[in-house]
Amino acid sequence: MSTLTMATDFDTPSRTAVYRKVAFRIMPFLMLCYVAAYLDRINIGFAKLHMLNDLGFSETAYGLGAGLFFIGYLLFEVPSNLLMMRIGARKTISRIMILWAFVSAAFAFVETPTQFYVLRFLLGVAEAGFYPGVILYLTYWFPSTRRAKMVALFVGAVPLSGMLGAPLSGSIITMAQGLHGLSGWQWMFIIEAVPSLLLGLLCLKYLDDRPADAGWLQADEKALVEADLQAERERTKGDAATGSLRATLQDRRVWKMTAICFCSAICSYGVSFWLPTLVAQLKVGDVMHVGLYTAVPFTAAFICMYLIGRNSDRTRERRWHLVGPFACVCLGLCSSIWLHDSMAWALFALSVAAVGAYSTTAMLFSIPGLFLSGVGMAAGIAAINCIGGLGGFVSPYMVGLVKDMTGSTDNGVYFIACIAVVGAALTLTLPKKLVNR
């Protein structure tokens, strides 16, 4: 059978079995890594409920510190992804996870806003390259026709970290309060850094850089995967954007995807950093109950985003599968304000917003691999994620600033909802022939 025939016949049971085997081997581990990463990144949202009072920080200081993470992230993301192409995913992901574990634990000993700002910046530096590195890594194992649901599974670690981390963080803060003279939020930072350290060390033994290195695949299985991926590279190698870093950064499609990513980041990080605060405003009880109720929107997002990604792969449709989640963000956030007098309905609205916010991220990063490859893929994904990810700086800072100025998060939430509309409009400008395949 020719390489082209192998690469275009994607629905045979034998081929599906091979990719299922690959998915079961690498996806659970990558998801665990991202759960640890995201938990270390957003547990500041739970620490905020007590940390600000203990240290005398303002809401603006919190928002600025939360957002400074993305400045460090921006500066080191493209270099990290290009380095990964030279030394491999195994060493790159291990290095990143071990570094951020130590930085995350150091938050337990913050005393001043300046220390908070420095550590948030260093956390961004440490974690730079992890997300785009994994997205690039998935292109080494799955062709584009199977990649959206894999990206959705990986990004599903974000709401999964909320499902597990929200009640865990709330419980640690409550139960460890005063233990050995430390506050509960300090113990939370220390305890939740441990999984990142252990997974970073394990990564060196568990992950393989490419299918050719995988001792758990048979020779014919390696050949099948490599043939599918080679056929995909053949389809994109004539694209000028794949040839060099310079060509990639001059490509208008990359910058349009960056703008959409900026909108997506404002939505997803706005929900991530402020969801505990929005749930607490529903007067659900102490911080432990806030954690339990916060897990509800994360659970809904974890289930729905995979279903959206799977349906996108099945139908080979990308645009409306991205527009729909942006619409959910807008509708869900606005409704959570209008329905705040009803805890059940407000929580449902926040769940709709969470489904939309995290699904935009999953669908967004299934698209660049449709027109980029090689150096262009590494540089393009990193550039889209790090520059577009600056929305993660804007979002928490704006909401915090608005709350300090008005005493309410409502206008900040409306700001995020408006950005979701912009993201949907930009997505509709993507050519069908570029993304629907």
pLDDT tens across 128-160, in order? 888 888 888 888 898 877 887 888 888 878 777
Helix orientation angle between 144-155 and 287-315, rounded to the nearest 10 degrees: 180
By 3-state DSSP, what share of the chain in percent is helix, strand and coil, each rounded to 5? 85, 0, 15
Per residue, the 3-state secondary structure of 182-209, as one string, reads CCHHHHHHHHHHHHHHHHHHHHHHHCCC
Q: Which of 229, 264, 247, 198 is closest to 375 using CA atoms? A: 247
- What the block records as the tokens of 315 is 């139908």
DSSP assignment, residue 368?
Answer: G
- Residue-wise pLDDT tens digits, 47-93: 777 787 788 888 778 778 877 877 887 788 778 877 887 888 888 88
Rounded to an integer, what distance in angstroms lies between the CA atom of residue 236 and that of residue 170? 48
- For residue 329, how far is the Cα from the chain centroid? 16
pLDDT at residue number 21: 94
Rounded to an integer, what distance in angstroms lies between the CA atom of residue 381 and that of residue 371? 11
Rounded to an integer, what distance in angstroms lies between the CA atom of residue 382 and that of residue 131? 9
Q: Which of 35-44, 56-65, 171-180 has the highest mean pLDDT?
A: 171-180
- What the block records as the tokens of 131 is 């997300």
pLDDT at residue number 238: 55
Say if CB 376 and CB 242 are below 8 A apart. yes
pLDDT at residue number 436: 65
Whether residue 330 has pLDDT greater than 90 = yes
Among 161-175, 270-284, 312-326, 329-343, which stretch is predicted with the lowest mean pLDDT? Answer: 270-284
Whether residue 292 has pLDDT greater than 90 = no
- What the block records as the tokens of 295 is 């897990």
pLDDT at residue number 3: 39
pLDDT-derived band at 287 (thresholds 50, 70, 90) equals low
Rounded to an integer, what distance in angstroms lies between the CA atom of residue 192 and that of residue 45? 14
Whether residue 370 has pLDDT greater than 80 = no
pLDDT at residue number 271: 77
DSSP assignment, residue 369?
Answer: G
Burial class (CB in 10 A: 0-12, 13-18, 19+), 431: exposed
Say if CB 40 and CB 193 are below 8 A apart. yes
Q: Within 10 Å of residue 17's Cβ, how many Cβ atoms?
A: 11
pLDDT-derived band at 236 (thresholds 50, 70, 90) equals low
pLDDT at residue number 2: 39
pLDDT at residue number 81: 74
Whether residue 25 has pLDDT greater than 60 = yes
Rounded to an integer, what distance in angstroms lies between the CA atom of residue 40 and that of residue 114? 19
Rounded to an integer, what distance in angstroms lies between the CA atom of residue 313 and that of residue 304? 14
Q: Of all residues in the chain, what percent carry a pLDDT higher than 90?
A: 18
pLDDT at residue number 11: 62
Q: Which of 401, 430, 434 is closest to 415 using CA atoms? A: 401
Neighbour-count burial for 41-75, b at 16+ CB within 10 Å, e otherwise? bbbbbbbbbbbeeebebebbbbbbbbbbbbbbbbe
More confident residue, 145 or 373: 145
Element (H, E) at 294: helix 287-315
Q: Does the reported pTM lie above 0.75? A: no
Rounded to an integer, what distance in angstroms lies between the CA atom of residue 181 and that of residue 248? 53
Whether residue 389 has pLDDT greater than 80 = no
pLDDT at residue number 290: 73
Longest Cα separation, the chain: 69
Q: Of all residues in the chain, what percent carry a pLDDT higher than 70?
A: 89
Judged by phi (left if over 0) then psi (alpha if -120 to 50, else beta), residue 199 lies in alpha
Tracing tokens 């529903």 back to the chain, one arrives at: 282
Whether residue 373 has pLDDT greater than 50 = yes
SS3 call for 9: coil
pLDDT-derived band at 288 (thresholds 50, 70, 90) equals low
Helix orientation angle between 13-42 and 219-236, rounded to the nearest 10 degrees: 70
The sign one gets for the Cα dihedral 89, 95, 98, 99 is negative
Burial class (CB in 10 A: 0-12, 13-18, 19+), 5: exposed
Tracing tokens 């203990």 back to the chain, one arrives at: 54
